[in-house]
A and B are shown apart, each in its own frame.
Chain A
């Protein structure tokens, strides 16, 4: 069964850091690009970051550029989102989703999401 499972969310104070993880099972993880997408409470979807299958290419939304870093460890079938200098507006449910993999559609596989709350 193909599955993505996020972890690492929680409550953090503004200005602090948090690292999210997304573990994949049931898929050739090392051949998939990956995305992070977030959703603030009561708001729409916002793409946050993406990483190629081998980690050589990374892309970020302007809202997180310079503060967030996406990385991956294919030996652990896991992609990470390191979030530094967190702000109130980063409060959201963070989802990981599949990226490019041959001719397969992107965003076809989603995790259940992990909630990050930035609050003092």
Chain B
């Protein structure tokens, strides 16, 4: 059971927009920055979003992050087949003194 809660799966058709949620608590998302990662099969995770809504250089602006209270969301617009991957959220948890990850969401582009 992960500290951060994500839906196990999501799906949408190419060109559309999909949103993935991440729910936590006051000790993690509620008081610290949220990170989002994309992991393609057989590869290392890739940072998509940091500090709730910032994109590292090279990440397309189709990817956006937001946070409200103890929840965060990752939105992907203009879906492409190559966006089919696992997506994870993460945040520092001040009560645990540890980083915590969501269980991951498998995105299928139909």
Per-residue CB proximity of A54-72 to B under 8 Å, as 1/0? 0000011110000000000
Give A113's nearest chain B residue, CB to CB. B44
Interface residues of A in 92-120 (CB under 8 A from B): 95, 97, 105-108, 110-113
In angstroms, Cα B54 to Cα A44, docked, is: 23
In angstroms, Cα B2 to Cα A62, docked, is: 13
A-chain residues with CB within 8 Å of residue B39 when the two chains form the complex: 45
Per-residue CB proximity of A62-85 to B under 8 Å, as 1/0? 100000000000000000000000
| Interface status of A46 (Cβ within 8 A of chain B) | yes
**How many of chain B's residues have a CB under 8 angstroms from any CB in A?**
24
| Interface status of B24 (Cβ within 8 A of chain A) | no
Interface residues on A, range: 20 to 34
A-chain residues with CB within 8 Å of residue B99 when the two chains form the complex: 35, 47, 50
In angstroms, Cα B91 to Cα A47, docked, is: 10
Q: Which residues from chain B sit less than 8 Å from chain A, CB to CB?
A: 2, 35, 37, 39, 44-47, 50-51, 54, 56, 86, 88, 90, 96-104
Query: A45-B104, A107-B45, A107-B90 given. 11 additional CB < 8 A pairs?
Result: A44-B88, A45-B39, A47-B90, A47-B101, A61-B98, A105-B35, A105-B50, A105-B54, A107-B37, A107-B47, A111-B44
